[in-house]
Amino acid sequence: MVTVTNAGTNVSRTLTTDSSGAFVAAALNPGTYVVRVDAQGFKVSVHQGVIVQVGIDARADVQLELGANSQSVTVTEAAPLVDTTSATVGGTLTNTQINDLPLNGRNFQNLVDLRPGVVIYPGGGPWQQSSNGQRPQNTAYFVDGLMDIDYSFGWTVMNTGTPITDAGSVLPLDAIAEFNVEQNPKSEYGWLSGEVINVGIRTGTNSVHGSAYAFGRDGSWDARNFFNQVPEPKPAVSLENWGASVGGPIVKNKLFYFAAFEERRDSLANSFSEGIPQTISVGNPATSIPDAEAALTAMNIPISPVSVKLLSLYPANTTSSPLLTFGFPNTDLTDNGIAKITYAINEHNTLNGMFFHSEYLGRGEDHPYVSPIFDVQIPMSVWVNTESWTWTPNSAIVNQLTFGMNRLTQTRHADTVPATSYGLDTGVTTVGGLPTINIAGFNSLGTSIISPIGDGPDPVYDGQDTVTYIRGNHTFKFGYEMSHISVDSCCQFFNRGDITFGGGGAFTGSSALEDFLAGTPSFALIGVGNGTRHLRTWYYAGFAQDDWRVTQKLTLNLGLRYEYFAPPTETSNLLGGFSPTAGLIQIGSNGFNQLFKPNRTDFSPRFGLAWDPTGRGTTAIRTGASLIWDHPNLEVLAGAGSIPTGFLLNGVPGGGTIANSSVVAFPTASDWNNVVFPNLNITPACTTASQCNITYVDPNLKFPYI
* pLDDT (0 to 100) of residue 456: 60
Over residues 18-27, the mean pLDDT reads: 83
C-beta of residue 99 within 8 angstroms of C-beta of residue 80: no
* Model confidence band, residue 19 (pLDDT cutoffs 50, 70, 90): confident
Three-state SS for 433-457 is CCCEEEECCCCCECCCCCCCCCCCC
pLDDT digits (tens, 9 = 90+) for 406-425: 998 888 877 888 899 999 99
pLDDT at 681 over 70: no
* Model confidence band, residue 89 (pLDDT cutoffs 50, 70, 90): confident
- Give which of 339, 340, 355, 366 is closest to 161, Cα–Cα: 366
Q: Give bridge partners of residue 625 from the DSSP assignment.
A: 607
- pLDDT above 90 coverage of the chain, percent: 47
Q: Give bridge partners of residue 241 from the DSSP assignment.
A: 215, 264
C-beta of residue 290 within 8 angstroms of C-beta of residue 308: no
Residues with Cβ within 8 Å of 82's Cβ and at least 6 positions away in sequence, in order, are 617, 618, 619, 620
* Model confidence band, residue 137 (pLDDT cutoffs 50, 70, 90): confident
C-beta of residue 464 within 8 angstroms of C-beta of residue 494: no
C-beta of residue 363 within 8 angstroms of C-beta of residue 330: yes
* pLDDT (0 to 100) of residue 646: 82
Report the distance separating Cα 147 and Cα 189, nearest Å: 10
* pLDDT (0 to 100) of residue 522: 95
pLDDT at 683 over 80: no
Report the distance separating Cα 234 and Cα 350, nearest Å: 56
pLDDT at 501 over 90: yes
SS3 102: coil
460-471 and 523-528 beta bridge pairing: unpaired
Q: How far is CA 422 from CA 304, 307, 314, 415, in A?
A: 13, 10, 13, 12
* pLDDT (0 to 100) of residue 568: 92
- Between 337 and 179, the more confident residue is 337
* pLDDT (0 to 100) of residue 85: 85
C-beta of residue 239 within 8 angstroms of C-beta of residue 216: yes
Over residues 264-292, the mean pLDDT reads: 93
- Category of 102 on φ-ψ map: left (φ > 0), alpha (ψ -120 to 50) or beta: beta
Q: How many residues does the chain have?
A: 706
C-beta of residue 261 within 8 angstroms of C-beta of residue 175: no
* Model confidence band, residue 37 (pLDDT cutoffs 50, 70, 90): very high
Q: Which of 433-442, 512-521, 642-651 has the lowest mean pLDDT?
A: 642-651
pLDDT at 491 over 80: no
* pLDDT (0 to 100) of residue 118: 86
Q: Enter the DSSP assignment of 292.
A: H
- Give which of 352, 351, 322, 357 is closest to 340, Cα–Cα: 352
Report the distance separating Cα 328 and Cα 236, nearest Å: 10
pLDDT digits (tens, 9 = 90+) for 532-573: 888 999 999 999 999 999 998 999 999 999 999 999 999 889
* pLDDT (0 to 100) of residue 299: 94
What is the rounded average pLDDT for all residues in the chain?
Answer: 88
* pLDDT (0 to 100) of residue 106: 86
- Give which of 238, 426, 278, 258 is closest to 341, Cα–Cα: 258
C-beta of residue 496 within 8 angstroms of C-beta of residue 422: no
